[in-house]
Amino acid sequence: MRRLSIMITTSCALALGACIQAPETDEQLVDQVEQGLADPASVLGFESVADWTVAGATKSASADRSEGASALALRNFAFAELRSVPLTTVSGVTSKLAFDLKPPVSPGFGNAQLYVNIPSRGVHSVLLGQVSLKDLPAGAYSTLSFDVPPNVVTALQQAYSDLTFKIVLNVPHSTADYLVDHLHFVGGTPPGDASKVELRVSGSDDRVVVSVNGLQRRMFHIGEASLGQRIDVSDWFGSGVNNLRVQLLNTGGPAASGVELWVDDQPVVNEACPATVCNGLDVRKGIVWDRTFSVSTPNRPAFQPVTVTGDGGQPGKVYVNDVFTGLVTPTTLSLPPGDYTIGVGFGSELPPADYAGSFFEQQVTVGASPVAVDITATPQLPFQEETRIAILPIRNSINHVASLGGPDPSNTGVLADADITALEAQVRATNDLWFEPLSYGLARWTVEVLPTIEDVPIIEQNHDGWDTTRFIAEAGTGSLASQYDMVVYFFSQHRADGSPVERVSNIAWAFNGTNIGFSTSFTSVGPDLLNAAFLHETLHNYESYNENQLRLYNGIEGLHGAEQHGYYSGSRGEEDYLHFYRHFMRGQVAELGAMRSDLKWPAIGEVAASSDLYLGVFPVLRRGFRVP
């Protein structure tokens, strides 16, 4: 509830039967009255006497109206002030406001004034004008019109929740009813005739993000069917001036895109990434083109405030439609009517064993009234993604020996049963203490150890890679990819006596979006069993799904882009690159237009308060990782 200040004004000395009240400032409003935000249509239609505070007259409801179901009746006055309750953003704004007035007799003198007040938009009790009431027809409604200055029109087209109107009537003293009704914009679009907004994106090499008023609405990708088509995006826009932002994202090679926008079939945007930025083979990775356009749609439905609160023990990170907004609870969003998924993640960030995470979500329909979302009023989401991981032990691994120019059977690693037991324990501990809480409790691994492959070795092709294709063919393990979400090909870099092989291969890798190559080079961890290398390789598979199946963007250098985004090993006291992995899993990595593949960004603290784009694999963990 906000407080509405109202000045109680005594009668005004009349000169020649008339009085003009000087405009008041917000500071002159002295009496405080609690009011809640109301439906603008009902208030402007004078449907409830409770929506208007009256000073100097007696008020009542009247069925004698010019529109709607009711009008406001005033009697026993010569000078009266009517002030509305606070309103959220109104629709159909034009440069002229009017209201209807029905006097009981034709006044011999008098006038009416109309004021607009929106303090949050810098509009402080602006007088729109004064209309003479002399000789107004008795017993009939007349429409009194007032011009709205351009700066006030602009303010009325923005988002707010503190708009009030004030009507001042100065008439010969009357004990009969003056009726007031139908405060409205003249020339506005009638309900049902809201503007149509259409968008066409072309090119989209590699991704194009379209946001409206800071809310990410769509990510187009190269090759998708809707490119080049004119699509209806009306529900992305609200009444007033909207900011349309278009960002072209490049993952390598040349880039290209164009954008067109129409409002009621009139072109308002038509631009393409210029050749100086997008042509050529050396176009940088990241956000290569970023444009914001002001789009006026006064005839769209009004924005509504959506207040998001929740007690998760700390401020929660706010998501809209699975995209992190950069906001924390409590906060108020300004959204046009439509259906939204509002989510909030609460997570402890105390490494390593005290990580915790929970995620709450509600489906919200925004209509013509403000919306309040108590996000923790419903239970937290249970696990949404269960990744089935199979550990496939390979008893023998033959390493490459440079002096022989190839693999040397005498340089063979032998996997011990204790190695298998150790990796299984590490995977389970990493899931429990890192993966689950860092995913806000939305995802987990289920682990199964398969029988060891005894008769087929995995062979190192050279010191930079292993021949997994040959191994899968000879061992006949290709079908495992359809039975599990990830298969870990696990082998040793130690001989049977425990000594390391010659030229140990310090390589772990993810391949085909589902498989992981992992060796005993990465299972020597501390007493807490946590294995950052294993987490890293699984995240490669999630980012592969995010990019190749969901066709989303993983950022400059993807999972290997920590330092390009300001994350460093051990930063904030978190093990390895856990600070980065945590934000990458939660979709909270901030990418700025100035970031480069060849530039290490200054270290960040926590989540960046502002960003050109937030990225990560949150949609995969929230919606599920599945082998296509």
394-422 pLDDT, tens digit per residue, is 999 998 766 555 667 778 999 999 999 99
- Is residue 112 a contact partner of residue 357, using CB atoms and an 8 Å limit? no
CB-hemisphere CA count at 13 Å for 500?
10
Dihedral over Cα of 34, 38, 44, 49: its sign? negative
Closest residue by Cα to residue 517 from 481, 482, 539, 491: 491
What is residue 28's predicted lDDT score, i.e. its pLDDT? 34
Exposed e or buried b per residue across 51-76, where buried means at least 16 C-beta atoms within 10 angstroms of its C-beta: bbbbbbbebeebeebbeeebbbbbee
Dihedral over Cα of 12, 17, 22, 26: its sign? positive
Write the pLDDT tens digit of every residue in 513-539. Answer: 999 999 999 997 767 789 999 999 999
pLDDT (average), residues 291-306: 90
- Is the confidence at residue 21, as pLDDT, over 90? no
pLDDT (average), residues 319-344: 95
- Is residue 286 a contact partner of residue 597, using CB atoms and an 8 Å limit? yes
Helix (H, G, I), strand (E, B) or coil at 60: strand
What is residue 158's predicted lDDT score, i.e. its pLDDT? 84
Rounded-to-integer distance, Cα 108 and Cα 171, Å: 8
- pLDDT above 70 covers a percentage of the chain that reads 89
> What is the average pLDDT value for the chain, to the nearest integer?
88
Q: Is the full-model pTM beyond 0.95?
A: no
What is residue 9's predicted lDDT score, i.e. its pLDDT? 31
**403: β partners:** none
- Is the confidence at residue 311, as pLDDT, over 90? no
Both ends of the chain: CA-CA distance in Å? 50
Lowest mean pLDDT among 31-35, 321-325, 327-331, 623-627: 31-35
Helix (H, G, I), strand (E, B) or coil at 532: helix
Write the pLDDT tens digit of every residue in 117-139. Answer: 999 999 999 999 999 999 999 99
Q: Residue 535 is inside which H or E element, if any?
A: helix 532-548
